[in-house]
Structure 1
Amino acid sequence: MGQTRADKWFEAFIYVSLSLTVLIVVYPLVFVISASFSDPSHIMKGNVWLWPVEFTLDSYTKVFQNKNILNGYLNTIVYTVVGTAINLLLTTIIAYPLSRKDFAGRNVITGFMVFTMFFSGGMIPTYLLVRDFGMLNTIWALVIPGAVSVWNVVIMRTFFQSSIPYEIQESAQIDGCSNIRILLRIVLPLSMPILAVMTLFYSVGHWNAFFNALIYMTDRGRFPLQLFLREILIQHEMTDMVQVQDESLVKHMMQVEGLKYAVVVVANLPVLLLYPFLQKYFVKGVMVGALKG
């Protein structure tokens, strides 16, 4: 059937709207990348709009010469890998029993878990608990308090229920498989899409996290990258608030200006590289998250 004039106008409106949305989303990323390769003086003058002005790698050279940033980068990688591994392990071993029809009391347990999504102990009691367990200035202060996301547990439980036929598990149980073996040999191999989605969600959360480190960390040698990026941004904002006359301070401001954009690019590069490999699982994860039965 041919399109009516109203359909053509509506289709054109959709294309224009989506094009504007793409530009709004993509332009900040393009600007940050361009600014990171531009001379800092042109950034401060507002000459950088789309393409780098006076292409230079000085900002990236300073990033990789800064021991604090490199140490923070390494710390963030360790926190992300360890934290994501703990998240996946605990989420899986909680979601699997809750997905089994023969597990008595699973709805009650799920209700108690969902309750924690609306009510928590609060920041100060959590800090006191972390302190009393001796986890301050350790990796465990960053990975243990958020080791399980109830929302992700519900999503994974729903995937197990809706995507893996219960009859397969019953057949394996009749053949003598234990619950652990069913989980390892049947459920997990069939759950690669949801595992990929959970890996992405948890790893991005750990990579971008800074608030817990701000609360629980005082040793700069254990700071994640995001705290050093925060220091650079705050330093830049403070210098913008004063009238600067000293030439050395002006030069320092220009260095910070270029360093800021270079650190943002370096900090987000692993996540940007991870998305293309896992994007095919996004729709699957969203659709599973829409079913809470």
Structure 2
Amino acid sequence: MRAADVRPKWMEPPTRIGLAAKVLALAAIAVLVLYPFVAVLSTSLSSEAEISRHGGLVLFPTSPTLDAYRVIFAGGVVTSALVRSILITAVGTACSLAATVGMAYGLSRRGVVGGRFFLLVALFTMLFSPGVIPNFLVVKQLGLLDTYAALVLPTLISAFNLVVLRSFFMNLPTELYEAARIDGAGDFRVLLRIVLPLSKSVLAVVALFYAVGYWNAFFNAMLYVNDDKWPLAMVLRQFVLQGQSLNDTVSSSETSVPAQAIQMAVVVVSLVPILVVYPFLQRYFTKGVLTGAVKG
């Protein structure tokens, strides 16, 4: 057999032992990933007796109940925080995506005055963070304390997402831009009619990155707003991670519902939106991120 006909090992079909090892490894990873979700969901559906009998963590409730979810959605701080998180995530994602697209498109065009300087400034923020105190002072001087804008504006543009979008725009064929210029189209029309329709995959990925960031953000809420404006992530941290009781904050007359079931129900509510959205955008991940990051 000639040397040219010998394929590398990684191109050979897997043996039965290798295939079995892959199946076992994937099954083990799946169990490790699913175990926390199942435990949290099952505990939120369990009664106080079952939680006490299993030491605080239930995997298979014998008599599941929705009392914890009824308590949450009956009103109170959890329901209000959920509504605030949805609004902050929707508005913040739209504003961040619009600002990032505009800046990335401008920096992707040749001959833009100061383009290299602003690109270097954006890249500088990826390496060096200004710190908590300077950020707080800036937000305070701008009069944004205890406003929802303080949860959006300080993180409006992500340098990583900016670089990905800029690289994607630069990789588009220059003939498209030239043809649009010949037809008399300006920059704004080129962006709306040509660039954005060709960038759906990378835009979907960047939008998901921003949405997940806004949905899970709690640190800015802890610094800049009072408890009457807390998003769900801050409520989750305060009442689940910090161990504070929800009995006084959730408006419900059902005092028999265990606090741990309510806490796990809050965790489930905070996870469901991302778990619902992710499968619809997952197919864009490889195409969007890799296409936008290979060159540029």
Q: CA deviation at 1:5?
A: 10
Q: CA deviation at 1:73?
A: 0.7
Amino acid across the alignment from 2:159: V
Determine whether 1:236 maps to 2:236: no
Aligned residue number for residue 178 of structure 2: 170
RMSD: 2.5
Aligned equivalents of 2:126 and 2:186: distance in 1?
A: 32
Q: TM-score, normalised by structure 2?
A: 0.87
Q: What SS class does the counterpart of residue 117 from structure 1 fall into? A: helix
Question: Is the Cα contact below 8 Å between 1:236 and 1:253 reproduced in 2?
Answer: no
User: What is the number of equivalent residue pairs in this alignment?
Assistant: 279
Aligned residue number for residue 138 of structure 1: 147
Q: 1:6 to 1:100 in 2, by over 3 A?
A: closer
Q: TM-score, normalised by structure 1?
A: 0.87
Question: Is the Cα contact below 8 Å between 1:39 and 1:53 reproduced in 2?
Answer: no
Q: 1:4 to 1:44 in 2, by over 3 A?
A: same
Aligned residue number for residue 62 of structure 2: 53
Q: 1:236 to 1:123 in 2, by over 3 A?
A: closer
Q: Identity across aligned pairs (percent)? A: 41
Alignment equivalent of 1:128, drawn from 115, 130, 137: 137
Alignment equivalent of 2:47, drawn from 17, 35, 39: 39
Determine whether 1:152 maps to 2:155: no
Determine whether 1:273 maps to 2:280: no
Aligned residue number for residue 113 of structure 1: 122
Question: Is the Cα contact below 8 Å between 1:236 and 1:256 reproduced in 2?
Answer: no
Question: What stretches of structure 1 move > 6 A for 4+ residues in a row?
Answer: 3-6, 251-254
Q: CA deviation at 1:23?
A: 1.0
Aligned equivalents of 1:99 and 1:145: distance in 2?
A: 24
1:204-215 to 2 correspondences below 5 Å: 204-215=212-223
Determine whether 1:291 maps to 2:294: yes
Aligned equivalents of 1:213 and 1:292: distance in 2?
A: 37
Aligned residue number for residue 94 of structure 1: 103
Q: Which runs of 5+ in 2 are unaligned?
A: 1-6, 246-253
Question: Is the Cα contact below 8 Å between 2:50 and 2:61 reproduced in 1?
Answer: no
Alignment equivalent of 1:216, drawn from 198, 221, 224: 224
Q: 1:146 to 1:284 in 2, by over 3 A?
A: same
